């Protein structure tokens, strides 16, 4: 999964021969999971057709303030386009367009959108060798980067004139990689390792039966997604679950029992910066597991249970520089019990949710939580999606840990 997943990318295309590469660029953004809209300068339509780009992006292509073919002549609002975009990418960026951008000239829809955009802007120059090296072009580069725009360096190769040299627009794959790496480098958890547990554990009674709980693992998986979106490398230790996540920065460690989760967590804890234990770990397990399926004979059946290892407490006992977060699912005296766990297990933060709250707990896509910090600050939250709860949690961790 790319860092561009679910992001809104506005692709600006100007009138250079490299515009033929824009179709591939749209496809790569879509493949990365982004939503794409395209704004073209009127002259760029001589190099690539709006029909091609609208088909690939699955969105209308904009090139003028009004649609001339439309009898109703609906206004294409450049402000709305600029606000929609998470990132504006201008590729190819010709010398003409860059000079206008650098000097605030606003004579087409793309330039008006650029001047209205509040998001990061990337531009990929494309022109012939002499134009690329001209002092006026260098001045445009300097101005645009001074304004905070990101230059995607041109490559060296055969140019439209037949010359060989600098000025060739970066290849679409290189443009996507440049943007992804630039975004990652600016994320607050870049270079940090986050250890997360999720889901239930199952404790065998015999080869067929087990003791477990109703945890789906969704909360832990949403936390993993939120951590990755902040640039973290994630170790996700998960019990049995149907949840899925596919991301190069998430290393999934599947386990079944509390003992296996304990061992896996301890294997990674010392090298972690943040540990978030959201799994619903079994507190007890059968002290004797039958080798064969237990037959139904007597009218009653007794199983003797023994305590499992307390993973969260064991981490609190050996904590050095890690920021340690626990979860507490309670049914009575919720706040008191959560505060007790926070202190006794040496946590930096605990997330309390109650089965008394409608829409919270296992098997649902929402949660209603209260965050309690080590300084006993109590932060109550309304009912939210588990994805939103995960984002709130990660933002609070950033604030509390100064990660």
pLDDT tens digits along 299-339 = 888 999 999 999 999 999 999 999 999 999 877 888 899 99
pLDDT at 159 over 70: no
Hey, what are 198's tokens? 């999720």
Residues 92 and 152 in one domain: yes
CATH number, domain of 65, equals 3.40.50.1950
pLDDT band at 163, cuts 50/70/90? low
pLDDT above 70 coverage of the chain, percent: 94
Q: Please, what is the average pLDDT of the chain?
A: 92
Q: What is the pLDDT of residue 78?
A: 83
Q: Please, which residues have CB within 8 angstroms of residue 119's CB and are 6 or more apart in sequence?
A: 82, 85, 86, 87, 88
Q: What is the mean pLDDT of residues 204-227?
A: 95
pLDDT digits (tens, 9 = 90+) for 364-385: 788 899 999 999 999 999 999 9
Residues 49 and 164 in one domain: yes
Q: Any idea of the CA torsion for 328, 332, 333, 334, to the nearest 10 degrees?
A: 30
388: containing domain = 193-401
Flag whether 3 is in a domain: no
Catalytic residues: 213
Structural domains counted in the chain? 2
pLDDT band at 36, cuts 50/70/90? very high
Beta strand pairing status for 35-40 and 61-62?
Answer: parallel
Hey, what are 392's tokens? 């709130």
Flag whether 1 is in a domain: no
Flag whether 160 is in a domain: yes
Residue 270: count of CB within 10 angstroms of its CB: 11
Mapping DSSP onto H, E and C, the string for the chain reads CCCCCCCEEEEEECCCHHHHHHHHHHHHHHHCCCEEEEEECHHHHHCCCHHHHHHHHCCCEECCCECCCCCCCCECCHHHHHHHCCEEEEEEECHHHHHHHHHCCCCCHHHHHHHHCCCCEEEEECCCHHHHHCHHHHHHHHHHHHCCCEECCCEEEECCCCCEEEEECCCHHHHHHHHHHHHHHCCCCCCCEEEEEECECCEECCCCCEECCCCCCHHHHHHHHHHHHCCCEEEEEECCCCCCCCCCCEEEEECCCHHHHHHHHHHHHCCCCEEEECCECCCEEECCCCCCCCCCCCCCCCCCEEECCCHHHHHHHHCCCCEEEEEEEECCCHHHHHHHHHHHCCCCEEEEEECCCCCCCCCCCEECEEEEECCCCEEECCCEEHHHHHHHHHHHHHHHHCC
CATH number, domain of 365, equals 3.40.50.10300
Given 185, 220, 244, the domain boundary residue is 185
pLDDT at 73 over 60: no
Flag whether 214 is in a domain: yes
pLDDT band at 246, cuts 50/70/90? confident
Q: What is the mean pLDDT of residues 174-196?
A: 95
């Amino acid at each position: 999964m790319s860092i561009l997943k679910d992001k809104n990318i506005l692709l600006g295309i100007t009138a250079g021969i490299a515009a033929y590469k824009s179709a591939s660029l749209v496809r790569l953004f879509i493949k990365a999971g982004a939503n794409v809209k395209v704004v073209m300068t009127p002259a760029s339509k001589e190099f690539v057709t709006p029909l091609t780009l609208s088909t690939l992006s699955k969105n209308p292509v904009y090139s003028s303030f009004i649609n001339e073919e439309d009898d109703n002549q609906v206004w294409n609002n450049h402000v709305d386009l600029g606000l929609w975009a998470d990132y504006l990418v201008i590729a190819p960026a010709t010398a003409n367009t860059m000079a206008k951008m650098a000097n605030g000239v606003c004579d087409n829809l793309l330039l008006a959108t650029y001047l209205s955009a509040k998001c990061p802007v990337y531009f990929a120059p494309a022109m012939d060798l002499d134009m690329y090296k001209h002092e006026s072009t260098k001045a445009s580069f300097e101005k645009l980067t001074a304004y905070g725009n990101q230059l995607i360096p041109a490559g060296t190769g055969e140019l439209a004139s037949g010359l060989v040299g600098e000025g060739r627009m970066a290849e679409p794959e290189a443009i996507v990689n440049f943007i992804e790496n630039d975004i990652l480098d600016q994320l607050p958890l870049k270079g940090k390792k986050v250890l997360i547990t999720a889901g239930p554990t199952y404790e065998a009674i015999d080869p067929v039966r087990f003791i477990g709980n109703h945890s789906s693992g969704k909360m832990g998986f949403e936390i993993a997604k939120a951590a990755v979106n902040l640039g973290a490398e994630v170790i996700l230790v998960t019990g049995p679950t149907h949840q899925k996540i596919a991301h190069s920065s998430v290393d999934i460690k599947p386990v079944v029992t509390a003992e296996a989760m304990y061992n896996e967590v301890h294997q990674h804890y010392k090298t972690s910066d943040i540990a978030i234990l959201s799994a619903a770990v079994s507190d007890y397990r059968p002290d004797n597991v039958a080798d064969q399926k237990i037959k139904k004979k007597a009218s009653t059946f007794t199983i003797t249970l023994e305590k499992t290892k307390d993973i969260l407490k064991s981490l609190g006992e050996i904590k050095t520089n890690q920021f340690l977060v626990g979860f507490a699912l309670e049914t009575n005296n919720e706040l008191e019990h959560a505060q007790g766990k926070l202190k006794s297990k040496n946590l930096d933060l605990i997330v309390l949710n109650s089965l008394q709250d409608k829409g919270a707990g296992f098997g649902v896509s929402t949660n209603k939580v209260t965050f309690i910090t080590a300084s006993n600050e109590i932060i109550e939250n309304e009912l939210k999606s588990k994805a939103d709860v995960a984002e709130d949690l990660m933002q609070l961790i950033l604030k509390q840990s100064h990660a």
